[in-house]
Amino acid sequence: MLLALFSMLAGLIALLWSADRFVGSAAATAQRAGMSPMLIGMTLVALGTSAPEIVVSIMAALDDSPGLAVGNALGSNIANIGLVLGVTALVAPIPIRFSIVRKELPLLLGATGLAGYTLANGYLGRVDGLLLLTLLVFSLWWLVRADTLDDVSDSDIPDMRLGTALFWSATSLIVLVLGSRALVWGAIDVATRFGVSDLVIGLTIVAIGTSLPEVAACIASALKRHHDIAIGNVIGSNLFNMLAVMPIPGLLAPGATDSAAASRDFPVMLALTLVLGAMLLWQRHNNLGRGAGTLLTLAYIAYLGLLIKTGTPIIPS
């Protein structure tokens, strides 16, 4: 018990430190490399905070458990919009730039639609995986091609050389992932000792804990006024989940998918994605504020309720 409590405390401290350092070094990298904070959020931050999902999907596919990998991608996207973006908006309203609506939103909608197409027939094969990877390559090309240097206050960005910024980005990213794992392990151990069921642990501690890298990075970004990194992280993470995580089971372990993924979880993810798109369109000249944050957070809680009712949860990992 003592070791589990220490793991939780150490993990929380690691998350708080690494999230703050990661956002600062990412912004410095953007400035030194002549790239916009949005592009950094869509690539470095998004890929980094999606690394656990990618690793879990590879392991699940190699263990002949493609359903876990598919649920990983869908569940993480639902958590990213409902929990991560919702909580971030509650902490600090996020200004929305029209560039998000014009460049990133169509890619996210396209990736979501293609993912739905690959799940529709109940079979995820290598052709499906290649289709998703093809769209990933196109998305990265489009983002680089369409990138422009946004106006960012120099006072908000740490004064680092490019090499130093890249070093701290990599170091803090490692601590970010390890900190979240330590916190989740400790929390599960404590919950188990108190007799909490595996279902409740999966729906609460694991689901929220494995989203802590995104939560920590987004809240730190919002508080440090790097809003483009905050919103870009969520959109970028969802893109990577659909186009980099989802193809893994199709390529490594092609086979039938759980019918609940297409009938229950994908519609929820699609609905949340469309709601997010509507919010970005409606609020493009204003903020994604606490009202939107409340709606998204409540939607995520309602989804957890749906999983409890159905009794067959797909846990974001």
pLDDT tens sequence across 204-229: 565 566 666 667 767 776 676 665 56
The residue whose two tokens read 């939560």 is 215
Q: What is the pLDDT of residue 76?
A: 82
How many separate domains does the chain show?
Answer: 1
Give DSSP secondary structure letters for 202-264.
IIIIIHHHTTHHHHHHHHHHHHTT-HHHHHHHHHHHHHHIIIIITHHHHHHS-EE--HHIIII
User: What is the pLDDT confidence band of residue 12, given thresholds at 50, 70 and 90?
Assistant: confident
Answer yes or no: is 21 within a domain: yes
- The CATH number of residue 20's host domain is 1.20.1420.30
Lowest model confidence (mean pLDDT) among 159-168, 243-252, 265-274, 299-308: 159-168
Collapsing DSSP to helix, strand or coil, 107 comes out as helix
Answer yes or no: is 119 within a domain: yes
Q: Is there a contact between 160 and 21 (Cβ–Cβ < 8 Å)?
A: no
Q: What mean pLDDT do residues 35-43 have? A: 62
Structure tokens at 1: 């018990």
User: What is the pLDDT confidence band of residue 156, given thresholds at 50, 70 and 90?
Assistant: low
**Nearest in space to 66 (alpha carbons), one of 304, 251, 308, 310:** 251
CB neighbours of 63 closer than 8 A, spacing ≥ 6? none
Q: What mean pLDDT do residues 251-275 have? A: 89
Answer yes or no: is 286 within a domain: yes
pLDDT reading at 265 higher than 70: yes
Answer yes or no: is 316 within a domain: no
Q: What is the pLDDT of residue 257?
A: 84
Q: What percent of the chain has pLDDT over 90?
A: 17
Range of the domain at 212: 2-310
Q: Which residues pair with 288 in a beta bridge?
A: 94
Report the Cα–Cα distance between both ends of the chain, in Å, rounded. 24
pLDDT reading at 50 higher than 70: no
Answer yes or no: is 317 within a domain: no
Q: What is the pLDDT of residue 313?
A: 45
Amino acid at the residue 101: V
Counting every residue, how long is the chain?
317
Q: Which one has a higher pLDDT value, 70 or 243?
A: 243
Answer yes or no: is 15 within a domain: yes
Q: What does pLDDT average to over the chain?
A: 77
**Nearest in space to 133 (alpha carbons), one of 244, 57, 235, 54:** 244
Tens digits of per-residue pLDDT, 99-144?
Answer: 666 777 889 999 999 999 999 998 999 999 999 999 998 987 887 6
Q: What is the pLDDT of residue 133?
A: 93
Q: What is the pLDDT of residue 139?
A: 86
Q: What is the pLDDT of residue 152?
A: 43
Chain centre distance of CA 242: 11
Amino acid at the residue 270: L
Rg (CA), the chain: 19
User: What is the pLDDT confidence band of residue 153, given thresholds at 50, 70 and 90?
Assistant: very low
**Nearest in space to 73 (alpha carbons), one of 16, 44, 114:** 114
Chain centre distance of CA 44: 12
Sign of CA dihedral 131, 135, 106, 268: positive
Q: What is the pLDDT of residue 150?
A: 44
Please list, residue by residue across 293-307, b when 16 or more beta carbons sit within 10 angstroms of its beta carbon and e when fewer do.
beebbebbeebbeeb
Answer yes or no: is 315 within a domain: no
